[in-house]
Amino acid sequence: MTIDTKHFCEPAYSVCDRLGGKSNLAKVLNLDISTLSRWCTPKDQGGTGGFVPQKYWRPILNYAKKRGTRMDLVDLSGIGLK
């Protein structure tokens, strides 16, 4: 039996991708990479289903600004995703 470890739940996946990947963003936020992997994992597999916890929104937005990456609350919240 194989376990699919590729998780692409939005908006977490796009946030991580746009900011240099899970490893990079985990370092920036001082988190273990497994935490960011959970953000990108479906709820039925123990993840957040793409939800980025609000307590990280400000540090993520600050880092995006520092990198010159356009990102806003809509990107973090997933508003408008189907």
The SS3 assignment for 6 reads coil
2 within some domain: no
Confirm whether 29 is domain-assigned. Answer: yes
Domain assignment present for 48: yes
Judge whether 81 lies within some domain. no
User: How many independent structural domains does the chain possess?
Assistant: 1
Q: What is the pLDDT of residue 80?
A: 77
Residue 71 confidence (pLDDT) above 90: yes
- Burial environment of residue 75 by CB neighbours within 10 A (0 to 12, 13 to 18, 19 or more): buried
57 lies in which domain range?
12-66
Give the other-Cβ count within 10 Å of 78's Cβ: 18
pLDDT given at position 82: 61
CATH code at 23? 1.10.260
pTM beyond 0.95: no
Q: What are the pLDDT digits (tens) for 4-59?
A: 556 799 999 999 999 999 999 999 999 999 999 999 999 999 999 999 999 999 99
Structure confidence at residue 38 (pLDDT): 96
Asked if residue 45 belongs to a domain, the reply is yes
